[in-house]
Amino acid sequence: MARKTHPDLEFAVEDASGRERTFKTFDEAAGFAVSIAASTGRDVAVDALAWSRAAAKFYHGDYGAEEYDADPDASVFDRVVISAEHVGRVY
């Protein structure tokens, strides 16, 4: 995922208390999601929210623009689920 941002693209993650936090880059959101998953033991969704066709194209190219056109009112454009499993010491 590119580190650049787009003004109409954000990434949402629920924190450990269930409040939504938003980030401007996937990297920031994914890092936060890993920390929540590791500390709580639950799967954590990173939701890409594309508020315009241009943002969808920025995120996933021409395919993203087509997906946006198919349902511009979708509440979540794309979702990545992060999980972390504690396996103990590795020898």
User: Which tens digits make up the pLDDT trace of 24-76?
Assistant: 999 999 999 999 999 999 999 999 999 999 999 999 999 999 999 999 999 89
Helix or strand holding residue 66 (H, E): helix 53-70
Strand spans (E) along 1-91:
9-14, 20-23, 44-50, 78-82
CA–CA separation, 43 vs 50, rounded Å?
22
Instruction: Compute, in degrees rounded to 10, the torsion defined by CA atoms 34, 55, 19, 36.
Output: 0
pLDDT of residue 90: 87
pLDDT of residue 75: 87
Tokens matching residue 34: 């890993």
Q: Identify the weakest region by mean pLDDT among 6-10, 14-18, 87-91.
A: 87-91
